[in-house]
């Protein structure tokens, strides 16, 4: 069995759709409910590095203290932004998926398909009914 990890928020539809796509590839991932058990600072910095994205690109605005904390201000350094994510894990955008192929922030949910080692095993739709994968296991355009 390959090891896949998802930093998951069960209250997030995108996160639930990504989890369904991982399971549809025949894998049962390690699920980290990162609001209950956030990654430590070194892990978070490592994940950001492996994703190859700016720290700011991992900040979530919607439903978080982003605006109250003034995180849109360019004055904050990457280290300070990581500090805010450590203090308020809800600021970490999700889901982050770690597979043997890559680490990726999977928004939109179908972005996970690019890093799953195994193909999809059957049709699947998003929670809103939008088809993602057809009966042959191919991505629906």
Pick the catalytic residue: 6, 12, 71, 133?
12
Domain ranges of the chain: 5-133
Three-state secondary structure along 52-83? CCCHHHHECCCCCCCCCCCCCCCCCCHHHHHH
Instruction: Return the bridge partners of 59, or none.
Output: 92
| pLDDT tens, position by position, 74-124 | 999 999 999 999 999 999 999 999 999 999 999 999 999 999 999 999 999
Q: Which residue in 104, 113, 105 sits closest to 134, CA to CA?
A: 113
Among 3.40.30.10, 2.60.40.1730, 3.40.140.10, 1.10.260.40, name the CATH number for the domain at 5-133: 3.40.30.10
Active site residue 12: yes
Q: Which residue in 43, 22, 3, 2 sits closest to 106, CA to CA?
A: 22
| pLDDT tens, position by position, 22-42 | 999 999 999 999 999 999 999
């Amino acid at each position: 069995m390959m090891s896949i990890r998802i930093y998951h928020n069960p209250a997030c539809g995108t996160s639930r759709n990504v989890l369904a796509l991982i399971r549809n590839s025949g894998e049962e991932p390690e699920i980290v409910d990162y609001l209950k058990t956030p990654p430590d600072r070194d892990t978070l910095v490592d994940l950001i590095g492996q994703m190859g994205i700016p720290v700011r690109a991992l900040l979530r605005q919607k439903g978080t203290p982003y605006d109250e904390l003034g995180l849109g201000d360019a004055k904050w350094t990457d280290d300070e932004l990581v500090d805010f994510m450590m203090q308020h894990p809800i600021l970490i955008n999700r889901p982050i998926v770690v597979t043997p192929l890559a680490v990726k922030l999977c928004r939109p949910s179908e972005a996970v398909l690019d890093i799953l080692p195994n193909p999809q095993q059957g049709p699947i739709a998003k929670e809103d009914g939008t088809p993602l994968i057809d009966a042959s296991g191919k991505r629906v355009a």
